[in-house]
Amino acid sequence: MERILFIVPPYIKFESFVRPAFNERVVQKRTGNYGSVLTEMPIGLISLSAYLKKNAPVEVRLLDFNVVLNKIESFNYNSFAELFFETLSAPEWKDFAPTMVGISALFAPAYYNMLDLAATARKIFPASMLMAGGGVPTNMYREMFKASDCFDAICYGEAEKPLLALVKAGDKKALLRNHLSWITREKAENNQMFQFDFIEDLDEIPFYDFSILNADDYREHSLLGLFPLEKERQKKGMPIMTSRGCPHKCCFCASHTVHGRVVRFHSLKRVREDLMRLRDEYGAQTAVFFDDHLLVNRHRAFEIVNILNELKLTSFFPSSLALYALDYKMLEALKSTGMDNLILSVESGSERVLREIMHKPLNLSIVSRVLRDCRALGIASDVSILIGLPGETKQDIEDALAFLKTLNASWFRISMATPLVGSEMLDTCLQKNFIKGDYMSCDFKRAVIGTDDFTPEYIQEKAYTMNLELNFALNTEFRLGNYATALKGFANTIQARDDHAFAYYFAAKCYKMMNQADKYDEYRSKYNAIVSQSAFWKKYAEQFALAPLV
Say if CB 39 and CB 71 are below 8 A apart.
no
Q: What is the pLDDT of residue 442?
A: 78
What pLDDT does 107 receive? 83
What is the predicted pLDDT for the residue at 444?
A: 77
What's residue 229's pLDDT? 54
**Which residues have a Cβ under 8 Å from the Cβ of 505 and sit 6 or more positions away?**
472, 523, 527, 541, 546, 549
**Spatial CA neighbour of 409 closest among 384, 376, 385, 382:** 382
Which residue ranges make up each domain of the chain?
2-189, 222-454, 480-550
* 526: Cα separation from own chain's centroid: 32
Q: Alpha-carbon distance 430 to 371, whole Å?
A: 36
Residues 6+ apart with CB under 8 A from 299: none
- Res 8: pLDDT: 97
- Three-class secondary structure of residue 396 per DSSP: helix
398 Cβ contact partners less than 8 Å away, ≥ 6 residues apart? none
Answer whether 0.75 is exceeded by the pTM.
yes
pLDDT value of residue 300: 98
CATH of domain 480-550: 1.25.40
3-class DSSP state for residue 214? coil
Q: How many Cα atoms occupy the beta-carbon half-sphere of 324 within 13 Å?
A: 8
Residue by residue, pLDDT tens for the chain (550 residues) are 999 999 999 999 999 999 998 878 889 999 999 998 988 899 999 999 999 999 999 999 999 999 999 999 999 999 999 999 999 999 999 999 999 999 999 888 899 999 999 999 999 999 999 999 999 999 999 999 999 999 999 999 999 999 999 999 999 999 999 999 999 999 999 999 999 999 999 999 999 999 999 999 998 778 777 665 554 555 588 999 999 999 999 999 999 999 999 999 999 999 999 999 999 999 999 999 999 999 999 999 999 999 999 999 999 998 889 999 999 999 999 999 999 899 999 999 999 999 999 999 899 999 999 999 999 999 999 999 999 999 999 999 999 999 999 999 999 999 999 999 999 999 999 999 999 988 887 777 889 999 999 999 999 999 999 999 999 999 999 999 999 999 999 999 998 899 999 999 999 999 999 999 999 999 999 999 999 999 999 999 999 999 999 8
CATH 3.40.50.300 corresponds to the domain 222-454: no
Q: Are strands 237-240 and 286-289 parallel, antiparallel or unpaired?
A: parallel
- What per-residue confidence (pLDDT) applies to 515? 97
Name residues whose C-beta falls within 8 Å of residue 418's C-beta, 6 or more positions apart in sequence: 108, 252, 442, 443, 444, 448
Given this structure, which CATH class describes domain 2-189?
alpha beta
Q: Answer yes or no: same fold for 222-454 and 480-550.
A: no
Cα angle 109, 362, 201; round to 5: 65
CA distance 357 to 499: 37
Write down the pLDDT at residue 26.
87
**So what's the pLDDT on residue 371?**
97
SS3 readout for 136-161: HHHHHHHHHHHHCCCCCEEECCCCHH
Contact criterion met (CB below 8 Å) for 337 and 305 = yes
